[in-house]
A and B are shown apart, each in its own frame.
Chain A
Amino acid sequence: MPLRDPKENDGLNTSPPVADEVKTTTCYMCAGRCGIRVFLKGGQIRYIQGNRDHPVNKGVLCGKGAAGIMNHCSPARLRKPLKRVGPRGSGEFEEIEWDEALSTATTWLDDIRTTDPKKLAFFTGRDQSQSLTGWWAKQFGTPNYAAHGGLCSVNMAAGGLYSIGGSFWEFGEPDWDHTRLFLMFGVAEDHDSNPIKIGLGKLKERGAKVISFNPARTGYAAISDEWVGIRPGTDGLLVLALVHELLRAGKVDLDYLLQFTNSSWLVQQAPGSEKDGLFLRDTDGKPLVWDRNSGSAVPQKQPGAKAALSGTYSVFGTPVIPVFQLIADRYTDEAYAPDTVAEQCGVSAETIKRLAAEIADAAFNHPVTLPIAWTDTDGKRHETMVGRPVSMHAMRGISAHSNGFQTCRSLHLLQMLIGAVDTPGSFRYKPPYPKPVPPGPKAAGQTSAPETPLDGMPLGFPTGPDDLLLEDDGTPRRIDKAFTWENPMSAHGAMHRVIANAAAGDPYPIDTLFMFMANMAWNSSMDIQGTIDALTATNTDTGEYCIPHIIYSDAYASETIAYADLILPDTTYLERWDCISLLDRPISNAEGAGDAIRQPIVEPDRDVRPFQTVLLDLGARLRLPGFVNEDGSAKFPGGYPDYIVNHERGPGIGPLAGWRGENGAGQGKGSVNADQLERYIENGCFWHCDMPVEARYFKMGNKAYLDWAVGMGFIRSADAIIMQLYSEPVQKFRNAARGIGKKQPPEHLRKRVEQACDPLPSWYPTFEDSATDPEDFPLHALTQRPMHHYHSWGSQNAWLRQITAQNRLFVHHATAAKYGIADNDWVWVESRNGRVKGQVKLIDGVNPNTVWTWNAIGKRGGSWGLEKDSPEVKKGFLLNHIIPDKLDDGSLSNSDPITGQAAWFDLRVRISKAEPDEQGETEPMFESTADLPGATPNSTRLDYGRVFETKEPVE
């Protein structure tokens, strides 16, 4: 019970009015999508609080979310559509009306659509509306669409989806209430921000052990029980050494492996043949296992069959081997022994061995039993749920490497072997996951033609060479070269490659680059100068820009604004409708499905429009199918909220899953409900539907779950989802590289594809490590994200920038001593791509072979509403300047060879003390861009909240 006012008699009013109105919506200060309550007083935002009822954040709010007011009223907000009037990069614009902006865009886009739709490259950055933007691209007819996944964490997503049918963050979460041992790999304190913090609080309270594997000991690692300061890019090797230890000791869950994985599937051994390394299947395509009873190959789970896990058998003359045998052969090899890998990982063999012992002990000596009866997909009833209380979480730290896909796969291998996927105490799926493995559908774009939609969504999941998007002569069909031999399984596209490719006309020139919310001219690109050169490159014959038109939409004056020809200003997150849809990036939790909306809290005070509404408008102006009625009128004249309610992707399936059907009683599927948004608002702007209790674990093989998921429209069939220790799609690419089949990689990629596309999780040194002479560049360099600046939008925020306005280069004391560097010195950080200057902070909590800094604190003068002498401009620095966007060979992208994920953290550097006359300012220092029209000088005083002051004494 709260206290009652004690009547202190000091004249203080302890119950001042706090709000005229409290509205709920969804935060957008990062990608975490927490529920918030916004207190309004006199029409202004008084206070933002976490929504206690919301399943994501349960009432709490992070440092960014609580500073949302300052993003909302940032001086960097764009005010009106802009047309470029100076050269690209100058920042010289004039304000134009929306009619002119939209008709200009329509003219450019209509020309493209009626001639060659792929000449539009539409890339949408940190987009939370990918089911709309992807569909727009499809209806336009361009294959050149992606959001920012390729430069963010596609390794994590693809590694998971091709292995366990799920992944971390939006796909799954640790069982915080039951786990005993929690392993965090490469987790900077970003992504899934509040749920992890809430979870860590629970683990601490329960006395569960937290282990952090990260070269840098930042926030979460600081409170972990054990910090393993691993060398960057070697996580996969360490994980496989754990696997080695567990296998050699027999600490694997055979029952689980037999039931839920492809451990028993038979792999054909037929070198030189197209079936080599593929599963033995019956005529229906069902994978077969070796039945120890009958001595024959039978479908998995055939009643009465006893599947073998070891041995070599012969079927019609072809030797076949169970997956588990291949795993045993591979990972018990001394190549994976802790003593072998210790030095490479920077982690002692004793530590690795002991960690394996701890994992085995937690998993097998301390199983968690929940008194929940359930039925598996074989129809077998279980009276309890028994799980392995070892949970893991991983993020960009392990995925942003050129060996990231295989590292993520290795982590899932470890989870599967000990039976720690979706069991009590382990990692748990969040619906709509798990999904069948391999995932579907495949990427469309095999053909594109004028005024013709694609035959599917532009992004998808290839399962073999036939799914690559290549012309007959091998030319990539996509501008970003996704789904090519350079990165065959690039499920999220490759946004980081678009600008350079488009400028080079490689594989073909484009006409218009249309981007949303991606700061590609600054912190979202490698090799910034190279990117700027590409954005401003001109054709030597015509003098025209190589990328003829650039359209950009954002709410704020980022560094990228200066490089666009046409700016479509977006609203802040408190001025708009949005939907957080199960069709793209869901916010479910392990016990139920959910989605959410944003509603406008206040009206914009500028001439800006929500991007999605603008996109729908453009779709109608272009008369894209689905965006217009038969009479040519706009199908969604009410803009984005109209679309959210009325669009159906399939029968009964729309952007929002809650309150469907005419009476609003439908969940998951149902007809359109005109009152849907009102119902969301009544419920706090989110919908959450718990699944039956018996469905909450073993979802991949739990009848109650799978039936529920089918009913909700998440999956088509309630068949068991078999997790894939061994990946057949990956093997198909390897076979092609070995000269099998019609579609094979070009010679210069043959060896790389063969090596990278290992059907079993593997480890190889990052490309940068392999190509680097450690004498030249002895150190690794990477970034972390400060929790209060997670994402790069915070420097415009008057409060957050007071916490961090200058990033330092964190260097281990011993390393600094080696190079004669003292605390606070300015140093050069040099890679094969150039050098950048920053100020040092010496610490202990970093792998001595690694230096790191906070990401995206450095800003360019003229951007983000900051004054040009701000620390962000003068002292803040970006590692991006020195991250090469090409591999050492000068042609291939600095990316994962399987998924194409940008390998941000492969960077190798050397450091040296700057000369005395070089101290104090960062370099390179780019010329400031011009102030945007209408910009007013910043006040030296900010007193937000003065209007809310209530000093009236108590009556």
Chain B
Amino acid sequence: MTCLPEKTTRKLGLVIDLDTCVGCQACVTNCKEWNTGGHMAPLTDTNPYGAGADGVWFNRVHSYEVTTPEGNSQSLHFPRSCLHCEDAACVTVCPTGASYKRISDGIVLVDEDKCIGCKLCSWACPYGAREYDVFEGVMKKCTLCVDRIYNENLDEEDRVPACVLTCPTGARHYGDLGDPQSDVSRLVRKRNGQDLMPEMGYRPTNKYLPQREKIANTATGQTTALAPLEDTSGASGLLGWVDRMLEQMD
């Protein structure tokens, strides 16, 4: 069993806006291309050009239809990756200390040298965020791009997770959720950010912003139809109005 830090200095994580995510998969493939050459390289793929293709992905987007409590059907795109939980069961279940949560920033990582591939962590994680590399026999997972966010070889503005950097709609945000004054914390308050499955008690760091209420009728006074100019059918009402308007413009 592996211990979690009592507290971490920072709580780095993601805030994902379900109202803005169009399900384009940009974060998915950008994560893949960065990380397949990054800290946990490679993100191996099996049968890449045949049946049963499968691979290691740190981030996946699922598209669903959901029915709202009011009975309305709605489509939803749901990006799923490691939530870097404060009470990370994937860490406490680890028999070798390979899974650990960093004290400095709260990122949950796997030390591949210590991982024996027992997969207990993937059973323990309720979010399905663990990815087993069948060829290497080790567990891999989202690193929150720990090899980007502090990387002095990258331009300063690029020192964010790849999924955040690439998101075309701006649905992904990154920052310190332990700092109530951070942009991400403010965003979570403003948009009523939610924990994923809070009832499980793992206290995930990442937050999801729920879909905004759909904007209904925007017409002033919620007008439901335009009033015709005059109670006439055909063009006369309109053209009479046009003539009057032109006179006014003269």
CB neighbours of B105 from chain A (8 A): 3, 6, 8
Minimal Cβ-Cβ distance residue in A for B35:
A945
A941 touches B49 (CB 8 A): no
Min Cβ gap A1→B in Å is 7
B53 touches A204 (CB 8 A): no
A802 touches B53 (CB 8 A): yes
B217 touches A843 (CB 8 A): no
B150 touches A2 (CB 8 A): yes
B25 touches A63 (CB 8 A): yes
Interface 0/1 of B143-173, CB less than 8 Å to A: 0001101111110111110000111111100
Min Cβ gap B69→A in Å is 15
CB neighbours of A947 from chain B (8 A): 37
Cα distance A805–B53 when bound, in Å?
A: 9
B228 touches A3 (CB 8 A): no
B33 touches A220 (CB 8 A): no
The verdict on A63 contacting B28 (CB below 8 Å), with A941-B135, A942-B45 known, is yes
Interface presence of B80 (CB below 8 A): no
In the complex, chain A residues 293-337 whose Cβ is within 8 Å of any chain B Cβ? 306, 308-310, 324-325, 328-329, 332-334
Q: Select which of B47, B151, B165, B235 is within 8 A of A16 by beta carbon.
A: B151
Min Cβ gap A813→B in Å is 9
Q: Select the residue from A66, A254, A940 with max chain B CB neighbours within 10 A.
A: A66
A67 touches B77 (CB 8 A): no
Q: Select which of B17, B46, B218 is within 8 A of A358 by beta carbon.
A: B218
Cα distance A309–B168 when bound, in Å?
A: 45
Min Cβ gap A7→B in Å is 7
Interface 0/1 of A184-201, CB less than 8 Å to B: 000001000110011011
Cα distance A802–B151 when bound, in Å?
A: 30
B242 touches A361 (CB 8 A): no
Q: Select which of A49, A198, A310, A350 is within 8 A of B242 by beta carbon.
A: A310
Cα distance A41–B30 when bound, in Å?
A: 17
Interface presence of B181 (CB below 8 A): no
Cα distance A788–B61 when bound, in Å?
A: 11
CB neighbours of A6 from chain B (8 A): 9-10, 102, 104-105, 150
A942 touches B109 (CB 8 A): no
Interface presence of A31 (CB below 8 A): no
Q: How many residues of B are counted as interface, with CB atoms below 8 angstroms from the partner's CB atoms?
A: 103
CB neighbours of B200 from chain A (8 A): none
Cα distance A946–B154 when bound, in Å?
A: 20
The verdict on A221 contacting B75 (CB below 8 Å), with A16-B151, A60-B167 known, is yes
Interface presence of A887 (CB below 8 A): no
B20 touches A16 (CB 8 A): no
Cα distance A13–B146 when bound, in Å?
A: 9
Q: Which stretch from A142-150, A244-252, A498-506 is at the chain B interface?
A: A244-252
A867 touches B44 (CB 8 A): no
Interface presence of A59 (CB below 8 A): yes
Interface 0/1 of B218-235, CB less than 8 Å to A: 111001111111000111
A943 touches B135 (CB 8 A): yes
Interface presence of B22 (CB below 8 A): yes
A15 touches B246 (CB 8 A): no
CB neighbours of A10 from chain B (8 A): 100, 102, 109, 111
In the complex, chain B residues 51-69 whose Cβ is within 8 Å of any chain A Cβ? 51, 53-55, 57, 63, 65, 67
Min Cβ gap A934→B in Å is 16
Cα distance A2–B45 when bound, in Å?
A: 32
CB neighbours of A360 from chain B (8 A): 219, 226
Interface presence of B23 (CB below 8 A): yes
In the complex, chain A residues 856-914 whose Cβ is within 8 Å of any chain B Cβ? 865-867, 869-871, 874
B151 touches A14 (CB 8 A): yes
Cα distance A18–B43 when bound, in Å?
A: 17
In the complex, chain A residues 919-955 whose Cβ is within 8 Å of any chain B Cβ? 938-949
Q: Which stretch from A89-97, A122-130, A516-524, A793-801 is at the chain B interface?
A: A793-801
In the complex, chain B residues 164-197 whose Cβ is within 8 Å of any chain A Cβ? 165-171
B226 touches A245 (CB 8 A): yes
CB neighbours of A353 from chain B (8 A): 224-226
B246 touches A254 (CB 8 A): yes
In the complex, chain B residues 201-224 whose Cβ is within 8 Å of any chain A Cβ? 211-212, 214-220, 223-224
Interface 0/1 of B226-250, CB less than 8 Å to A: 1111000111011101110110011
Interface presence of A255 (CB below 8 A): yes
A358 touches B219 (CB 8 A): yes
B159 touches A943 (CB 8 A): no
Interface presence of B21 (CB below 8 A): yes
B50 touches A867 (CB 8 A): yes
Q: Select which of B22, B51, B250 is within 8 A of A787 by beta carbon.
A: B22
Interface presence of A476 (CB below 8 A): no
Cα distance A15–B146 when bound, in Å?
A: 9
CB neighbours of A845 from chain B (8 A): 65, 73, 75
B153 touches A15 (CB 8 A): yes
Min Cβ gap A892→B in Å is 36
Interface presence of B36 (CB below 8 A): yes
Interface presence of A12 (CB below 8 A): yes
The verdict on A944 contacting B168 (CB below 8 Å), with A1-B156, A358-B217, A801-B53 known, is no
CB neighbours of B215 from chain A (8 A): 207, 209-210, 225-226
Interface presence of B198 (CB below 8 A): no
CB neighbours of B227 from chain A (8 A): 249
Interface presence of A85 (CB below 8 A): no
CB neighbours of B9 from chain A (8 A): 6
Min Cβ gap A388→B in Å is 14
Q: Select which of B150, B168, B224 is within 8 A of A197 by beta carbon.
A: B168
A788 touches B29 (CB 8 A): yes
B166 touches A49 (CB 8 A): yes
Q: Select which of B39, B65, B223, B246 is within 8 A of A361 by beta carbon.
A: B223
Interface presence of A619 (CB below 8 A): no
Cα distance A356–B223 when bound, in Å?
A: 10
* Pairs of residues from A and B, 7 with the lowest C-beta to C-beta distance, nearest first: A63-B25, A945-B36, A6-B104, A222-B75, A948-B37, A197-B168, A867-B50
18 contacts between A and B (CB under 8 A): A3-B149, A12-B146, A16-B151, A62-B26, A204-B17, A248-B226, A249-B229, A250-B242, A250-B245, A309-B242, A310-B243, A328-B235, A798-B45, A798-B49, A866-B49, A870-B53, A871-B51, A939-B48
- Interface residues, chain A, CB within 8 Å of chain B? 1-8, 10, 12-19, 41, 46-50, 52, 57, 59-67, 69, 75, 180-181, 189, 193-194, 197-198, 200-201, 204-205, 207, 209-210, 217-223, 225-226, 245-251, 254-255, 292, 306, 308-310, 324-325, 328-329, 332-334, 350, 353-354, 356-358, 360-362, 365, 787-788, 796, 798-803, 805, 843-845, 865-867, 869-871, 874, 938-949
10 additional A-B pairs beyond A248-B226, A867-B51, beta carbons within 8 Å, are A5-B150, A63-B28, A66-B29, A189-B22, A254-B242, A254-B245, A324-B242, A357-B219, A943-B42, A945-B41
